[in-house]
Structure 1
Amino acid sequence: MKNLIYVLLLTVFFSCGNDKVVLLPEINHSEITEILDVSPGYLFYDETKTDSVELNRKNLISTTNWLINVDKRLTLKQVFPHIKYLQDKKANSSHKKEGVKNYFTCNDISNKNLGFIDFTNVAYVTDAKGYIKDLKTAHANIVILNQKNIRIITSNNNVLQTTKATLVETIKDLFQLEETLLYLEFYDSLSFQDYITIKALMTKLNLENIEISNHEIIFN
């Protein structure tokens, strides 16, 4: 399986045409390191285009797990219209297969290999005003402006300032005794690298009383 993973790494960097490179986002550790039955798609950073982004989806097969390789230099504003398009395309395919998933591909620097983040069931919300939150005993909004400026807004409207370095421990300290649903809100000027960094951190919570909503708000 490791041979397959190294082949995928080469594919990300060399198989998509003349001098086209995807700089994958880096994470310190991935819970998912092996995926079978895959097909790749690419979002390139392209300085020659007005919006600096190019989607290549010609190798995506709806009956497989999708590995979406996104250049870490792109912003969320550039990326997520394409991600939503791909999600809808797969969901509405007449050939889709039960159980196949969608993953973002990352460089797992702890293992010096590829890692993957599952986004199959994530629903990206851009109209926050029209969004009705789920009912829960308590909830909190985590607003990510950048990795050094993160706000946690509790259900009683207390606002705490934190950073990437202290985010996980702050959440654990705040909500260790109550059932809590966390909503993630991302500023759309964030780089895809910043987004993936926060997503990877959230996998470290592992607390039964804390749930992360599958609805993520992208705001400007």
Structure 2
Amino acid sequence: MRFIYFILIISCLSCNNERVLLLPEIENAEVTEVLDVSPAYIFYDETQPDSTLLNRKNLIITTNWLVNVDKRLTLRQAIPHIKFLQDKKRNAEMHKNEDAKNYFSCNDISIQNLGFMDFTEDYYKLIDIENDSINLQILNPSDEHYRKGVLEHGYISLSVIFNKNGLVKYKNGFIPISQYISEIPIYDSQIVANGFTLNLYFDKDLTFQDYISIKSELSKFLNDEIILGHFQYIY
């Protein structure tokens, strides 16, 4: 069945001789098969004002949506179209299927086939990070606030800020996400909260490929103590 979907997508992309869509690459996708689907495409197209072209004519509201985004696009280009598609499904009044999900299609190089990333529960918000800086919760492992029991049985929020190169702001520099995760005091016995919620902030000039790579890398570290917030912020 996965092979059929792979051929279906390639066939659709081949309908226009001049149009090519490069899927973002991923390894060991958690989802490798999706049934009852309809596709949307967000192409990289330099002839368009924002270099993007959305094709959604084949979407059926009651199905699982496979959103195929060209990996060369930046978040500034891709996210408005993704938000538009999400709102279209969430605001549907008739024939709504609460079980239908949204997935990004990816090229899973570990299996040489399609893989999928679920983004059904993700909410994207475009912000001015300078104006929003008062709301940022920067990681400080020595912060005594973590140990005062204010968030007992709750989660401590952390603002994880990625620059356009996919690195995370920490102290006076930028580090890989794996190193950032290692700085979170998960095993500090004095912290009585359930864990930490990561609220993700992405530079608008980050490519969609880098965005998918970051989300895939993050999934390796998620557990009961480290969870993701539903809102993702583009600055």
Normalised TM-score (structure 1)? 0.86
How far 1:92 moved relative to its partner? 1.5
- What are the superposed Cα offsets for residues 39-58 of structure 1, whole Å, 9 maximum, x if unpaired? 00000100112210000000
1:9-158 correspondence runs (5 A): 9-11=9-11, 13-15=13-15, 17-93=16-92, 94-127=94-127, 129=132, 136-147=154-165, 149-152=167-170
- What are the superposed Cα offsets for residues 77-117 of structure 1, whole Å, 9 maximum, x if unpaired? 11111111111111112222120000111101111111111
Q: Which deviates more from structure 2 when the two are superposed, residues 170-179 or residues 51-60?
A: 170-179
What SS does the aligned partner of 1:190 have? coil
Q: Which residue of 2 aligns with 1:218?
A: 234
Whether the aligned pair in 2 keeps the contact of 1:168 and 1:204 (CA below 8 Å) is no
What SS does the aligned partner of 2:107 have? strand
Change in 2 beyond 3 A, CA 1:87/1:137: closer
The alignment's C-alpha RMSD in Å is 2.3
Change in 2 beyond 3 A, CA 1:132/1:173: closer
Whether the aligned pair in 2 keeps the contact of 1:175 and 1:210 (CA below 8 Å) is no
Letter in 2 for 1:208: D
Unaligned runs of 5+ in 2: 138-150
Change in 2 beyond 3 A, CA 1:209/1:95: same
Q: Which deviates more from structure 2 when the two are superposed, residues 63-72 or residues 42-51?
A: 42-51
Letter in 2 for 1:215: F
What SS does the aligned partner of 1:197 have? helix
C-alpha separation in 1, matches of 2:7 and 2:61: 21
- What are the superposed Cα offsets for residues 5-56 of structure 1, whole Å, 9 maximum, x if unpaired? 33234235324x3321110011122111110000000001001122100000
Whether the aligned pair in 2 keeps the contact of 1:39 and 1:67 (CA below 8 Å) is yes
Percent identity over the alignment is: 44
Letter in 2 for 1:66: W
Whether the aligned pair in 2 keeps the contact of 1:62 and 1:90 (CA below 8 Å) is yes
Q: Which residue of 2 aligns with 1:176?
A: 186
Letter in 2 for 1:10: I
- What are the superposed Cα offsets for residues 126-175 of structure 1, whole Å, 9 maximum, x if unpaired? 136399789754222111113453214xxxxx566312xxx235304524
What SS does the aligned partner of 2:29 have? coil
Q: Which residue of 1 aligns with 2:142?
A: none
How far 1:192 moved relative to its partner? 0.7
Query: Which of residues 194, 201, 214 is equivalent to 1:185?
Result: 201
Change in 2 beyond 3 A, CA 1:161/1:2: same
Letter in 1 for 2:64: N
C-alpha separation in 1, matches of 2:208 and 2:199: 18
Unaligned runs of 5+ in 1: 153-157
Whether the aligned pair in 2 keeps the contact of 1:145 and 1:186 (CA below 8 Å) is yes
What SS does the aligned partner of 1:181 have? strand
C-alpha separation in 2, matches of 1:131 and 1:67: 36
C-alpha separation in 2, matches of 1:32 and 1:74: 23
C-alpha separation in 1, matches of 2:12 and 2:225: 38
Q: Which residue of 1 aligns with 2:145?
A: none
C-alpha separation in 1, matches of 2:233 and 2:13: 30
Letter in 2 for 1:118: D
